[in-house]
Amino acid sequence: MIQKRIAQWAMMAIAVPVAAAGARRLSHALEARRGASGITRLLNKGADMLRPQKAKRRRFF
């Protein structure tokens, strides 16, 4: 049971940010080569959903 939790944590801590960075890099490369398109906007939105550039600050009080 604890191994499953560690695997879930590793997925969220490592795989998701790497996927977001890859989508953002692919979007920038495609946009530089062919210009803005629906695909580049979709990749940017997906990367922003996975990992926003500007993190919101949480307040606990």
Residue 39 covered by a domain: yes
Residue 61 covered by a domain: no
Residue 59 covered by a domain: no
* pLDDT score, position 4: 93
Q: What is the pLDDT of residues 25-57, one digit of tens each?
A: 999 999 999 999 999 999 999 888 887 766 566
Residue 49, classed as helix, strand or coil, is: helix
CB-CB contact of 37 with 61 (8 Å) = no
* pLDDT score, position 55: 58
Residue 16 covered by a domain: yes
CB-CB contact of 23 with 43 (8 Å) = yes
Q: What is the mean pLDDT of residues 16-33?
A: 92
pTM assigned to the model: 0.68
* pLDDT score, position 25: 94
Residue 54, classed as helix, strand or coil, is: coil
